[in-house]
Amino acid sequence: MKIVIASDEDRPVLAHIAARLRERGHEATILPIATWGAMATDAASKVARGETDRAIVCCWTGTGASIAANKVRGVRAALCVDATTAAGARKWNDANVLALSLRLLSEPVATEIVDAWLDTPYAGSEGESLGEIARAESA
């Protein structure tokens, strides 16, 4: 799976997340640091256009990055501060963008959240993901 990581600050936890994704066999790319709105919109747009499968966006609280990403049609960004929330965001909401708070994020917590987000499948709605619905509507 291709996953981009975007942030408004260069923090060591970004490299940790990228390494964890690669360790799990995914293609991970850290985008250039930009303002929270620009980086989140850029990452979300890459998901919406199908250039990447998913994205992880990070800012100080994660709130601004989540809001900016959700303005992109076809994106379902979820701000998650723990593994349970990340699993629920995938299971019930088919979240294709994960928003994280740099203020709250340690490497062990990042690992737990990212692993839960990757390992939890969408429970589905009659077998159709929200992503498939959005793509069909825009076609």
- pLDDT tens for each residue of 73-117: 999 999 999 999 999 999 999 999 999 999 999 999 999 999 999
Residue 59 designated active-site: yes
pLDDT (0 to 100) of residue 133: 53
User: pLDDT tens digits for 1-37?
Assistant: 999 999 999 999 999 999 999 999 999 999 999 999 9
Report CA-CA distances (Å) from 107 to 87, 103, 134.
Answer: 18, 12, 33
Collapse the DSSP code of 12 into the 3-class scheme (helix H, G, I; strand E, B; otherwise coil) and give the result.
Answer: helix
In whole angstroms, what is the distance from residue 33 CA to residue 53 CA? 20
Confidence of residue 124 (pLDDT cuts 50, 70, 90): confident
DSSP 125: B
To the question of domain 2-138 being in CATH 3.30.565.10, the answer is no
Residues contacting 113, CB < 8 A, separation 6+: 80, 81, 82, 83, 85, 86, 98, 100
pLDDT (0 to 100) of residue 139: 54
Extents of the domains making up the chain: 2-138
Question: Per the residue annotation, which of 31, 59, 72, 77 is the catalytic one?
Answer: 59
